[in-house]
Amino acid sequence: ALQTIAEAQKKGGICAFVDAEHALDPVYARKLGVDLQNLLISQPDTGEQALEITDTLVRSGAVDVLVVDSVAALTPRAEIEGEMGDSLPGLQARLMSQG
């Protein structure tokens, strides 16, 4: 994904990186040729927030490449706010179906 961003940036493209895992490694990204100064980076707290950001960017047409890292890390707000051990089956599936 970072290589795709680097290639798009070389061609003048505007790129966004939704870092749901909060794990973007700037040193590694630079080595791959990513221009971090010109990369839109978001580190959302919840899956809903990540999807809102993604939806806004896609609908705006302002970006040429949008990366979400990763869908598996999109944690629903209810899961974050819930008590340990709460049974919340299907939350991530419901979150993804909202988009």
Which domain CATH number covers 61? 3.40.50.300
DSSP letter string, 22-49: S---HHHHHHTT--GGGEEEE--SSHHH
Tokens representing residue 71 in the block: 């869908």
Tokens representing residue 61 in the block: 């047409």
Q: Which domain holds residue 88?
A: 2-98
- Note if the pTM is more than 0.95: no
The label of the residue with tokens 């049974």 reads 87
Span 75-93, average pLDDT: 61
67, pLDDT greater than 90? yes
Q: How many residues comprise the chain?
A: 99
Cα gap 8→72, rounded to integer Å: 25
Span 22-38, average pLDDT: 97
Which pLDDT does position 24 carry in this prediction? 96
Number of domains in the chain: 1
What are the φ and ψ backbone dihedral angles of 36, each rounded to 5 degrees? -65, -25
Structural contact between residues 16 and 40, judged by C-beta atoms closer than 8 angstroms: yes
